[in-house]
Structure 1
Amino acid sequence: MTSTKYGIHAYPPKFSDPQFIKRLMADYGQRSMPRPGKGPERTETSDVDRFQFWPDAIAMGSLKGRQFTQVFGAACIKGYDERSHGRSILAFDLKREVLVIKAEMKLDPKILPPALNPLYAELSFDDINHQGIHITKRPLPDGLTQKDALEVTVTVSCRRPPKFYAPFDPGDKAPDYMAGTKYLIDRRRATALDFAVSGVNERDANAIPAIPEGPCAYPTFWNTYRWVFRMGTRQYDKLLACAHKIRALAQADPEMDLMSLTSERARWTVRVLTGEDFKRVYAPPDLSAIPFSTRTLLEGLIGHGIMAPGDTAELIAMLRKVSSSTAFHDRILEALFSQQRIRDIKHLIPELAAFLRRRPPYIQPHLVLIRTVLVTPTRLLIGPPQYEPSNSVTRRYHDKLDGIIRVQFTDEEDRLFIADYMKLVDSINPAVGIMARVRRALQFGLVIGGETFYPVASSASQQKEHAMWFINNKVIDGLELRNWMGTVHETVVAKHAARMGLPFSTSRIVNMKINIGEELPDIERNGRCFTDGCGIAGREVLNQAALALNEKVGINAQPSAIQFRLGGAKGVLSDWSQLVSEYEIRLRPSMIKFRSDLADLNVIRIAKYQAAFLNRQFINIMCANGVPHELIIGIFEDAIADIKGFKDRVWNNAVTENDQQLIALCNDFPLAQLIRSGFNENPLLLDVAAIIECRALQDLKWRARVKLSDGVYLIGIADETGTLKEGEVFCQFQENDDSPPKVVVNEVLVCRAPACDVRRAWAVDRPELRHLKNVIVFSTQGMRDMPSMLGGGDLDGDDYTLIWDQRFVQSLKVYDPMDYEAPDPISVKHVTQKHLNENFVQYVLNDVLGQVDNCHLALSDMYTPFDPRCLHLSEIHSVSVDFAKTGQAAALDPSLRPKEWPDFMDKDDVKVVYESKGILGKIFRIVQADAHFSPSDLEQMGYPTDPRITRFPLHESLLDRLKPLKASYERDLQYDMRRYRVYEPEIPSGIAIRNKRRKRVRDQNLNEPLREAYNILVNNVRETAQKIVNDFEFKTTLTPMQVVARHCYALTYEEVHVRQWEQALAEGKFGEKPEDDEDSERLRPKPLISFAWCFCQELVQIVSQIASTPVIPIAAADSE
């Protein structure tokens, strides 16, 4: 073991001068150094050229406080390689926001594995810890010249591994450049096995273990990288200029506060691990005697880097010391996932146990606990069980959920992005690299909790997320599962996979006995099906389906249609009570995908009112077909005027009628009621209002998403009466229970996304159809059904936009529909799991739909949607969409990729960008700046409180009983905040604002998970609070739960209690104690402000009865 101490450098005063920084950066921008690694060879100088530094040594390991534990390290070779690139560099790519790392080490190449020969990696700024970049220096007395007068150390700690690369094997025949491009091909992405000299390739290395062994564990446990440089003052000034640029990022995005706030007194200690030390700290522990549920949590904590394998024995001992209950052990371990690193096990576990001693949390009946596993190139990440919406399989095996996991294949921080380069690399050698790791998992399985899980199926939506369900055949018999689902005879591999995935799609069961009536024939003509996916149902069936989705009153409690699944059938059931009995459904052949004995009706969603919105694709197509630019610009200017100032209007209690539409974005959080009750100055309500305003403006700027007042977006169904003529539709909509139903009678446009096809039609009124609301009824007459003319749509759940704004209808040119013929599907005589696995691999490998959309949008802006390149992209899009039916991959030719991108596509960090002169560029710049959100700070606001609440007195014993509940709520809330990368108010509001850092899931797709997460938190808190308050007796006009609400309000907002709360947290009274070493630089987060609103109805009740109720002091006594 060696120990070294370094002095800490305080930044010179000149680096606070922006003009000096600007001059220095410009000066270095004129200099050019060789660009390292793979990438486009351009004549202009890149950031990697400008801001690269050549280290003398590099080390990898872990950081605890200011002690760096070195696992691996070596001196670096300097100079240029055969391509005139730096042989060892640390480069700051400020445009792409990544650190580029390369190291040729002074070690025998024969003993180095592929990933270290040489080491090449890219670390995203997003993956660096808060204040995780440390720069120190000390003068070198032996420095002979100004060029090596300083020893500078750069230490970077990270949240997750960087993207590693490895050279091709000597036998691989790789071309020097990508065909038709200037991209060098000199390496591929590395996986965990590339860190070992094993002689076994990734694809054939058997099941992937939860805890990696030996060198394969390096990426998991290397959370810190450290470089030592000898440099002169000028180079050091350039390094500090880079640090200044990184500091500037935090001004726009607080999450990007990456530079450490070092002090002059701080000192570093370096500890070098020996081989024995490495085994003791990082060797996989023996968990064979640990119960499965506990073992998976331990494996998850190790895989996430929250704890080292060597800490397992101490952790298990502490768990057994505080409790003998396995379930309680699991609750403690689940709570540990909110930690970034476990520092002090002996202190942490007893503190956690002290307030986790309560009954299990409330579970909503439609949710189940599911284990999720992420397979990345270098890690296997097991998360704690999470409550998720159930499906038929998880309901069937509700008592065997230990035998099922959901696996998602991702990159280290992102979804897998398979570009042409990745596909070429895979074709060169499919036995190594990222796709080889996917094949390995599918063929040999994953070892989780000591049990091997194998793939079984993936629903359509899960496949889009590169996810698949795996089962443990010892717990759930795979053959029995397949027999239970039904008999799938489909020989087209892609369709067979889709059929197998049906029972895994999210749904809720309808608790009623239904009568499955005689099948209805499909209405077919000219080889077209006019009723594709649409059947009929009785009134009570639809009502009960709505009830299963918690729609109990109002228009949504009596829907006109539902999207459903029943055994091997799926599609839409619409209301035709005159054709069936109230408990009957009748299906059509087009709805039955395979035969199954399952008779439970599962509802996915109901038909309900949705406003029509334009988006970038629709606007682009419409303006290219005659819609005036001025019309779109006017609509956007009106929308901006309606949105801006929303938070201020809430503060002043002056919301407008248009504001009510913004407020309606909060589906579950009762913002409108709380504003009416006078809580409009509350910090959380103002934050929610700010989020609504921010997200609405972001949607305008980045998605061009604007509401159309004369339009709706509704599910499509078939006209069972045959009264609609060819080219006619029927639409009766009702926005809410307070508004009357309206029948559209006019010439209209019917559109379907994402195909962006548009048809002109006539919306007519038919008495026979007036019982149908919030659906679009399509004619079953004529030569061809209208849905198929809209990008190949059907009636099994597709939504359609109907526009009757005559400014659009009359100006738009409509062309003949595209007559697209899908390629011949891939079929086999008998589909096996091996075929399904390869179909999944091919989907991931050829998932280019998003890339095609982006290319089409960019080229349409640069030229027109009618340019031959855009038309070709439309055909590629159709092939890609049909992969789930055909298994045929779509190829995106590199020549169709734009060389430049319009500014509205937000590609400025990695692409060459131009200012768009088209309609999308014009409306993009109407919203001047990207809207940002910053949470309220109670201290800065002066701890505002509502005297209508605070007038009621408090009882200390009840406050003490509620504090552990608040701690538990906020711990779970902070876990969800980290899980989804959101601010606190985004969770109760159910609205995720745009965040470029959030890459795994699209912002808009987070809304439902956020609402589910918040409902679970609130129900858990309320159930526990009810039990607590039962131990008290009160003499007051308030109900027991209103008393709880009063006390929770005090804990959340009143200054004396908030300060006491913060002090208790700092002292570790609720299971978390900040580190007390010199590296505790991260400021505590602002006090959370949402706890009180778990009791929002009680708070409303209190203020509503103030005028008529005298205040009686709360006298309470424990009833023990």
Structure 2
Amino acid sequence: MSTHPDFNEEFFDDLDSLLPDLLEFLTFKPSDVDRFRFAPDAIAMGSLQGRLFTQVFGGGCAKGSDGRRNTSFIAFDFKREQLVFRVTTMLDSRGIPPVLHPIDAELSFHDIAHRGIHITKRDLPSARGNPNSLEVTVTVGCRRPPRFYMPLEMYRRRATVMDFTISGADEREAGSISTIPEGHCAYPTFCDTYRWIFRMDRHQYAKITACVQKIRALALADPEMDLMSTSSANARWSVRILGDHEFQQLYTPPDLSRLPFSTRTLLEGLIGYGVLRPVDTPDMIETLRKASPATPFQDRILEALFNQDRIRDVKALIPKLAAFLRRRPPSEQTHLVLIRTVLVTPMRVLVGPPQYESSNSVTRKYSDKLDGIIRVQFSDEEDRIYVAGSLKDADNENPAVGLMARVRRALQHGLIIGGETFYPVASSSSQQRDHSMWFINTRMIDGLSLRNWMGTVHETVVAKHAARMGLPFSTSRIVNMKINFGTMLEDVKRNGRIFTDGVGLAGSNVLHESALALGAKGIDSYPSVIQFRLGGAKGVLADWPKLVGKDDILLRPSLIKFTSDLADLNVIRVAKYQVAFLNRQFINIMCANGVPQELIISIFKDAVADIDGFRDRVRDGKMTKADEQLGRMCDNFPFMKLVRYGFNTNPLILDIAAILECRALQDLKWRARVKLPGGVFLIGIADETGTLREGEVFCQYQENDGTPPKIVTDEVLVCRAPALHPGDVRRVCAVDAPELRHLKNVIVFSIQGERDLPSMLGGGDLDGDDYTLIWDQRFVQSLSMYAPMEYEAPDPIRVREVTQRHLNENFVQYILNDVLGQVDNCHLALVDFIKTGQAATLSPELRPDKWPDFMDKGGSVVSYTSHNILGKIFRVVQADPHSRPSDLGRMGYPSDPRITKYPLDNGLLERLKVLKACYERDIQYDMRRYRVYEPEIPAGIAIQNKKRKRVRDQNVNEPLREAFSFGVENVRDGAANILRDYTFEKTTLTPMQTIARHCYALTFEETFVRQWEQQHRQGHWGVEMLDDDDEEMFRPKPFMSFAFCFWQELIQIVSESGSEV
């Protein structure tokens, strides 16, 4: 019988006698909750350290006469990938929090710790003569608290931390939310281990072994689902049961009132994440003071601890970490700011360390008071707040309790962070979609002064007022140049429609400096259009040299959202070439409008053929032209340059190639996103000259610096996402116009006619919307045109004067009605909620009881094989694409002799180890933060990950790119510091090339990688020494990206000329 390499054979003593029962349970088809359900005799909650289980809560379990599931049970639900437990204890209910009597909870497999399931068994002492009588103990360690539920009269609602109070106090009226919970409310934070004891016969034990097999099978498909411990089934554990007094001693919040705000928030964050126990806080504070009297250095130590899973020995770890950090000064980024983020979940308040991110107008204005600004995100423990009907129903029945009551509580009463109370102020549109809002400490930043500085918002539509207030909080780069503001232009209006809605004019110098502020290069540094924000104005600015001066900006009324004295130009992005992609919505409409299904299927088959095997072709040096186009998608990392210079067999390069291949196939399978070479995806603007006639567009595109610009002249299709109505795809004529040839990588729309074309495309405008233009005549000629939709928005909700209370409830209602992904046929109404406050509803009769296979609903719902076009193309990609990083050890530590032929200096290696440790510490934090593997960070491309649920995969890409750029900049700055005082041996390499050669050795050469890993195991580089049980869990495989912080120098080394790259 073949097993997993780490499979514990002790589970299968006497397995032959159990095979009939085992086969029965493996082949029978009831629900998993019925099939793999066990009735426990006892349950306990607590924490686990080594083999010591510290019990905080526990007791015997009530059972029905037949062990029915409506009394006490634990079940492995493999279809929904979760552990379900419903338990009624035999404890006195008067001293138990209501959420624990009875216990109704679900724990996602993704929230179980690595190898966190321990199953032990022993013969019952009273029945040693009966081999069928066993005592089985199941112990499960958690990354995050389970989802607890509370009963309502008609509904089952999600529990929050206030349900752990003995009195069961209302969440909404419980006052400000603190970071460190007290009393029974501390259970979800500090009880990270659950334990069940069963008395069972061999027949029941067969089900346990079946569960073990199925859990191990999950790990074969996904290594991150390696949940079964490798400890012996006969291992013995120690148990310590805490009384109330001992619990208070260990977990009562420490007194942090005398600490500086920055230090206090970091300690609160470490406690909230479970890294530091409250009882260890005094030792932590004392050890920090011994390490350094300087608060900034103490804070650096604490920030580094967020990479730890837990701290076992404060007094041993802190001196090591301090010694390591002294060898590497902190880095600063002028265009980034340090922002604290706070995650509010049903059970916890998680304060992270300050992180560098792009600035906005408010953070630049209050750059000396950033301690008074935090960004708060409301989420579930491991996911976005899922808006199901039950959530709305529970909130309607009793809005004082439950998930949304917790959100209202934070908005009304504020959050206490570091001893200071923070209150909500505003949320930009993108932040609102992430359920995030900015909070300020009104003792540091006066809310009225902030609002007056931002501008005067007279808007009485609550949703629009909220959007206006969020504008200054939008991420942007400031353009440092003197700008002249010309006379306000009039909007072109006709028939109640605005043909120039959201577009203004800017001079060439303004556009160029804006691009440089974003770091654009080549043709992208001279854009025809920028998307901008300036005070209370937002939209796009286009290049019209005959109409505006080089340093001038001309605005229109449609750009002005509210009056503001702010005069700084903030650039968000520049117009650049992007190839067209089809998606599910476009495909559905086009096929319904006459485009042959066979055409779509053939395009998908060709795309799969072009993509499949990309990594192997990179390795073999046999890349096709289509491969080169795919490789250029990795525009944050010099993937193609490194391949061209012979790094195509390097493990990191191959991993990035695998990521590109995987992401492209995932887009095909799960998003029906396929590249269409006969089209472009560009920003839309208005024809200021009036040259274009009704039904005409102008489009000139240029792919890169090495290709000439091309003007599209033919019948074309134009569409915009979201597209749901048959009339959302229009056929128009693309023409050449000499007056417009200075414009590149934009789509120019006519200002003539009865109705502007953008408004026909799903209600679009010109304030930054992107449009798809297709000239592939197979699509153009086969499409039947339908009249565009006449969409009329519902009357917006107005109030006499918008107050913060209105804004808070608007935010809550946005979350409650954030069902955009659940219903496409309500899309037009939903996207308008942010402007009107009128929510779309999804009544139960509109919810399908079965879902097509291409919707990827998993095993939790009934699905069927779809035979429409989306189902057919879904199955063109046969398997679920996935990618995992390489293991240097298993690959035999491959290295490049073109680099390794140069000698090494041991002294320089030791200096560079500090840079490597700092870099990899940051990389590891980002891996945890965004739930990615290391190669995804330099690639700047996140592959699909079921564990990453709070944000969409695509929304992770930009933070990954910024994280890698930041890491590279830090490393190169550190290398420059080394160069100032280091004497190099005689070599043909330049000093920076010598640095690159040594970094390559530390990253890829076996001797140095093994030495590095051994030093890690021994606790060097500011980490705790790991024992055998923890090494695999807490230490990832050797990282491989450090050397490529010097990719230019590596290319110079291997190239014959050694010229600049």
Q: 1:810-830 CA distances to partner (integer Å, 9 max, x unpaired)?
A: 111121111111111111111
Counting only pairs closer than 5 Å after superposition, residues 330-349 of structure 1 correspond to structure 2 as 330-349=299-318
Which residue of structure 2 lines up, in the alignment, with residue 950 of structure 1?
Answer: 900
Q: Does 1:704 align with 2:672?
A: yes
Q: Does 1:1043 align with 2:1011?
A: no
1:1030 partner SS: helix
Could you state the TM-score of these two structures normalised by the residue count of structure 2? 0.97
Q: Does 1:1101 align with 2:1052?
A: yes
Conserved? CA contact 1:9–1:136, under 8 Å: no
Which residue of structure 2 lines up, in the alignment, with residue 507 of structure 1?
Answer: 476
Which residue of structure 2 lines up, in the alignment, with residue 588 of structure 1?
Answer: 556
Cα–Cα, structure 1 residues 1079 and 476, in superposed 2: closer, same or farther, change >3 Å?
A: closer
Which residue of structure 1 lines up, in the alignment, with residue 537 of structure 2?
Answer: 569
Counting only pairs closer than 5 Å after superposition, residues 88-237 of structure 1 correspond to structure 2 as 88-143=72-127, 149-168=133-152, 174-175=153-154, 185=155, 187-198=156-167, 200-237=169-206
Q: Distance in 1 between matches of 2:1031 and 2:884?
A: 23
Displacement of 1:229: 0.7
Q: Does 1:609 align with 2:577?
A: yes
Q: Does 1:900 align with 2:850?
A: yes
Cα–Cα, structure 1 residues 1078 and 780, in superposed 2: closer, same or farther, change >3 Å?
A: closer
> For structure 1, which segment, 141-150 or 825-834, has the greater mean C-alpha deviation from structure 2 after superposition?
141-150
Q: Distance in 2 between matches of 1:1047 and 1:826?
A: 64
1:203 partner SS: coil
Which residue of structure 1 lines up, in the alignment, with residue 23 of structure 2?
Answer: 23
Displacement of 1:211: 0.5
Q: Distance in 1 between matches of 2:13 and 2:831?
A: 58
Which residue of structure 2 lines up, in the alignment, with residue 675 of structure 1?
Answer: 643
Identify unmatched segments of 5+ residues in structure 1.
1-7, 31-44, 169-173, 176-184, 854-872, 1110-1120
Conserved? CA contact 1:261–1:1081, under 8 Å: no
Q: 1:170-189 CA distances to partner (integer Å, 9 max, x unpaired)?
A: xxxx33xxxxxxxxx3x211
Cα–Cα, structure 1 residues 508 and 326, in superposed 2: closer, same or farther, change >3 Å?
A: same
Q: Does 1:56 align with 2:7?
A: no
Conserved? CA contact 2:339–2:355, under 8 Å: yes
Corresponding residue pairs, total: 1049
Displacement of 1:976: 0.8
Q: Does 1:373 align with 2:358?
A: no
Cα–Cα, structure 1 residues 1080 and 942, in superposed 2: closer, same or farther, change >3 Å?
A: closer
Cα–Cα, structure 1 residues 14 and 1088, in superposed 2: closer, same or farther, change >3 Å?
A: farther
Q: Distance in 2 between matches of 1:225 and 1:126?
A: 15
Q: Does 1:810 align with 2:781?
A: yes
Displacement of 1:265: 6.8
1:699 partner SS: helix
Counting only pairs closer than 5 Å after superposition, residues 694-773 of structure 1 correspond to structure 2 as 694-756=662-724, 757-773=728-744
Q: Distance in 1 between matches of 2:178 and 2:976?
A: 44
Which residue of structure 1 lines up, in the alignment, with residue 4 of structure 2?
Answer: none
Which residue of structure 1 lines up, in the alignment, with residue 3 of structure 2?
Answer: none
Displacement of 1:16: 10
Counting only pairs closer than 5 Å after superposition, residues 881-892 of structure 1 correspond to structure 2 as 881-892=831-842
Could you state the TM-score of these two structures normalised by the residue count of structure 1? 0.92
Q: Distance in 2 between matches of 1:521 and 1:1108?
A: 54
Q: Does 1:821 align with 2:805?
A: no
1:884 partner letter: I
Displacement of 1:513: 1.1
Displacement of 1:1085: 2.8
Cα–Cα, structure 1 residues 9 and 654, in superposed 2: closer, same or farther, change >3 Å?
A: closer
Q: Give the counterpart of 2:400 among 431, 451, 457.
A: 431
Conserved? CA contact 1:724–1:780, under 8 Å: yes
Displacement of 1:134: 0.4
> For structure 1, which segment, 570-579 or 1075-1084, has the greater mean C-alpha deviation from structure 2 after superposition?
1075-1084
Conserved? CA contact 1:14–1:20, under 8 Å: no
Which residue of structure 1 lines up, in the alignment, with residue 369 of structure 2?
Answer: 400
Displacement of 1:482: 0.4
2:707 partner SS: coil
Displacement of 1:146: 6.7
> For structure 1, which segment, 54-63 or 139-148, has the greater mean C-alpha deviation from structure 2 after superposition?
139-148
1:61 partner letter: G
1:198 partner letter: S
2:199 partner SS: strand
Q: Does 1:1088 align with 2:1022?
A: no
Q: Distance in 2 between matches of 1:1002 and 1:87?
A: 39
Displacement of 1:648: 1.5
Q: 1:128-147 CA distances to partner (integer Å, 9 max, x unpaired)?
A: 00000000011113249979
1:135 partner SS: strand
Displacement of 1:54: 0.7
Displacement of 1:1029: 2.6
Conserved? CA contact 1:80–1:86, under 8 Å: no
2:246 partner letter: D
Displacement of 1:1076: 2.6
Displacement of 1:972: 1.2
Q: Distance in 1 between matches of 2:496 and 2:65?
A: 66
Which residue of structure 1 lines up, in the alignment, with residue 465 of structure 2?
Answer: 496
Q: CA RMSD in A?
A: 1.9
Q: 1:416-452 CA distances to partner (integer Å, 9 max, x unpaired)?
A: 0111111010000000000000000000000000000
1:24 partner letter: E
Q: Give the counterpart of 1:650 among 596, 618, 621.
A: 618
1:685 partner SS: helix
Displacement of 1:657: 1.4
Q: 1:103-153 CA distances to partner (integer Å, 9 max, x unpaired)?
A: 111122233222112111100000000000000011113249979711110
Which residue of structure 1 lines up, in the alignment, with residue 235 of structure 2?
Answer: 266
2:307 partner SS: coil
Conserved? CA contact 2:618–2:654, under 8 Å: yes
Counting only pairs closer than 5 Å after superposition, residues 289-438 of structure 1 correspond to structure 2 as 289-358=258-327, 360-438=329-407
Identify unmatched segments of 5+ residues in structure 2.
1-7
Cα–Cα, structure 1 residues 1079 and 149, in superposed 2: closer, same or farther, change >3 Å?
A: farther
Which residue of structure 2 lines up, in the alignment, with residue 961 of structure 1?
Answer: 911
Q: Distance in 1 between matches of 2:20 and 2:940?
A: 45
Cα–Cα, structure 1 residues 126 and 780, in superposed 2: closer, same or farther, change >3 Å?
A: same
Q: Distance in 2 between matches of 1:608 and 1:705?
A: 20
Which residue of structure 2 lines up, in the alignment, with residue 861 of structure 1?
Answer: none
Conserved? CA contact 2:601–2:873, under 8 Å: yes
Conserved? CA contact 2:1018–2:1026, under 8 Å: no
Q: Give the counterpart of 2:761 among 790, 794, 803.
A: 790
Q: Distance in 1 between matches of 2:965 and 2:262?
A: 25
1:101 partner SS: strand
Which residue of structure 2 lines up, in the alignment, with residue 281 of structure 1?
Answer: 250
Q: Distance in 1 between matches of 2:650 and 2:205?
A: 49
Conserved? CA contact 2:938–2:960, under 8 Å: yes
Q: Distance in 2 between matches of 1:991 and 1:194?
A: 40
Cα–Cα, structure 1 residues 890 and 14, in superposed 2: closer, same or farther, change >3 Å?
A: farther
Conserved? CA contact 2:331–2:970, under 8 Å: yes
Identity of aligned residues (%): 69
Which residue of structure 2 lines up, in the alignment, with residue 78 of structure 1?
Answer: 63
1:668 partner SS: coil
Displacement of 1:248: 0.3
Q: Distance in 1 between matches of 2:443 and 2:570?
A: 28
Displacement of 1:19: 8.5
Q: 1:943-984 CA distances to partner (integer Å, 9 max, x unpaired)?
A: 111111111101111111111221111111111111111111
1:1053 partner letter: F
Q: Distance in 2 between matches of 1:564 and 1:1079?
A: 50
Q: 1:723-746 CA distances to partner (integer Å, 9 max, x unpaired)?
A: 111111110111111111111111
Cα–Cα, structure 1 residues 360 and 761, in superposed 2: closer, same or farther, change >3 Å?
A: farther
Q: Distance in 2 between matches of 1:472 and 1:902?
A: 48
Q: Distance in 1 between matches of 2:886 and 2:462?
A: 53
1:68 partner SS: strand
Conserved? CA contact 2:73–2:85, under 8 Å: yes
Which residue of structure 2 lines up, in the alignment, with residue 42 of structure 1?
Answer: none
Q: Distance in 2 between matches of 1:15 and 1:346?
A: 48
1:337 partner SS: helix
